[in-house]
Chains A and B, each alone.
Chain A
Amino acid sequence: MFKPYTQKQGESITIDFEGTPIEVPAGITVAAAVMGPVGKDHIRRSPVNGEKRAPFCFMGVCHECLMEINGIPDQQACIIEVKEGMKIKRQMNLPGVV
């Protein structure tokens, strides 16, 4: 849904996205990484109605970007920066599934 504005390569780091190592620019947020270089069009499913959801506000208000980061669920991916080796997972459980 997002692509880099320039091809210029700055410093990059490697994150673990659902088991796959992916190189992303250093200093960007987890939400920006998932919607950009990782190439996903959604970040979770609504635990209430099962719909695909993606970040809406990108500033920590809407809570649509909740992800599992380093094993901890419900982290706000739009206000957390990517770090080397960070383990990131989408929250894809459908309603009623724990």
Chain B
Amino acid sequence: MEKFRDIIIIGAGPAGLSAAVTASAHGLDVIVLDDQPSVGGQIYRNIENAGKEKIKLLGPDYGRGTSLVEQFKKSRAHYLGNAIVWQINAQGNVCFSKNGKSTEINGRHILLATGAMERPVPFSGWTLPGVMGAGAVDANFKSSSTIPQGPVVLAGSGPLLLLTAAHLATLNVKINAVLDTTPLGNYRTALPFLPRALTRPDYLLKGLGMLLNLQKPGGNYVRGVTEYKAHGSDTLDHVSFKTRHKTHHVDAGVLLVHEGIVPRCDFTRQLDIKHLWDPVQRYWYPETNALGNTALKTVHVAGDGAFVHGGVSAQLKGTLAAIDMAGTLGALPGNNRSKALENFQNDQGVKQSSKSGALIRNQHVNRLKKQLNGELAPRPFVDALYRPRPHLYNMDDDTLICRCESVTAKDIRQAISQGCREPNEIKTLTRCGMGPCQGRMCGMALTEIIAESINSTPCDLKALSIRPPVRSISLSELAKTDLLEHHTQ
């Protein structure tokens, strides 16, 4: 395998794929590394093998991925699936594991397109088999065509909760209850953002349609839920939930939870890039410029990993980042590094003229930015409406925060009462964040618990340090890593 590339893209979702298409059309040598078995990321997971029936069931938001994947397959970009990246540096060196063997390759530029994940929020009983992410089960259907069995309950807040409920209804899954924890006051506080959102009625109507569908008789939709818990001796048996100080119970074999979506910052953290705090959605995101470039000239971030804006925006952000990287690498449109470039310009509707490449590029960038701006119009409204509810992390003392190492909220609070304020210090003391998931499931909660205990916000605290190997590989594999020459000399 060629070990030196112009661009290494990590992640084969909408941002990574569109960036690969654009960059390779600029004549650049691109490789996409992705940890999943097939391209598409989570939103377009397994779309290549989905077939018409599944695309019809999941709707146009899924089907949209077909043309992007086709463009990607037609492009000259290389692709490695089941390739798990575990280290990156600013010099463009990337280590990844595939089939139990690790390799180091180098890119003149790196694009992080690692997307987002469902916000992990610990609650009593969340480790019981049967409790899963709502988006998780939706994504699992895309690749396995299996649906959850047994009384199904959904709980939480956010567009993906509604979408999963809608998909399950289409798939004839009986839903015992949908427990919506969106605070009713949010409908009022989100109001100032509504006018801009109204410029995209398509988005709003879709959301409204999903909400109204849930509220039909027999939908078992409960709003104003303030808390939910999972119960069972060693697997899930039932769910309890509170509305206005009243506690209710509902049978459940499967509980699908969703508390919003947050960027995956593993690699931007590992690279020690500065992160900013979004006070509305309460998550960290890496600092980038409008084209996705970080403070490191060689590293861009695109897609939901830069800020959660959804799949269509991710694709636009990927294209923008690719154009910027191409510019840095001297592959401007018009310098004719390849025949593919002309095709690309024709595809994009860029008129061939005597104008300099840079001018054409700027026009293209401005058009994309305008398009992106249109896509972002409903986001402030949606983000405000579905902002995490107050005291989301005010869990009982016996709740497991760290699933891997079985560390409870009480263990963490004890460390705080002993004077600890730094998540990494508490990690050392309690092992919270030290297991195989490396703090991905507990890191946010750990910081939020500290913040709540000392009346602060996570933006005034540090986050867990992320060090390589960012994904777990065996020591023997690490030792046998096929390194580039500069290391072995």
Residues of A within 8 A of B (CB): 1-6, 25, 27-29, 31-33, 35-36, 41-43, 46, 48-49, 51-64, 66, 72, 74, 78-81
Contacts and interface: CB of A to CB of B under 8 A. Distances in A.
A69 to B, nearest CB: 10
Nearest to B126: A56
26 contacts: A1-B150, A1-B254, A4-B145, A4-B147, A5-B146, A29-B143, A32-B143, A32-B144, A42-B129, A48-B435, A53-B129, A53-B403, A56-B132, A58-B133, A58-B139, A59-B42, A59-B117, A61-B117, A61-B437, A62-B437, A62-B441, A63-B436, A64-B403, A66-B436, A78-B140, A79-B36
B35 interface: yes
Interface of B: 35-37, 42, 46, 49, 82, 100, 117-118, 120, 126-133, 136-137, 139-141, 143-150, 171, 234-235, 253-254, 264, 403-406, 435-437, 440-441, 472, 474
Question: What is the predominant secondary structure among interface residues of chain B facing chain A?
Answer: loop
Contact of B149 (A1, A33, A52): A1
Contacts of A66: 436
Nearest to A51: B127
Contacts, number: 133
B129 A1 contact: yes
Contacts of B42: 59
A5 B36 CA distance: 22
A61 B133 CA distance: 11
B20 to A, nearest CB: 20
A43 B144 CA distance: 17
A3 B139 CA distance: 15
Contacts of B441: 56-57, 61-62
A38 B201 CA distance: 45
A6 B139 CA distance: 17
Contact of A46 (B36, B133, B143, B406): B406
Contact of B144 (A28, A59, A63): A28
Given A1-B254, A59-B136, A48 B149 contact: no
B136 A6 contact: no
Given A58-B140, A62-B440, A79-B36, 9 more contacts: A1-B150, A2-B147, A5-B147, A28-B146, A32-B140, A46-B403, A57-B132, A58-B136, A61-B441
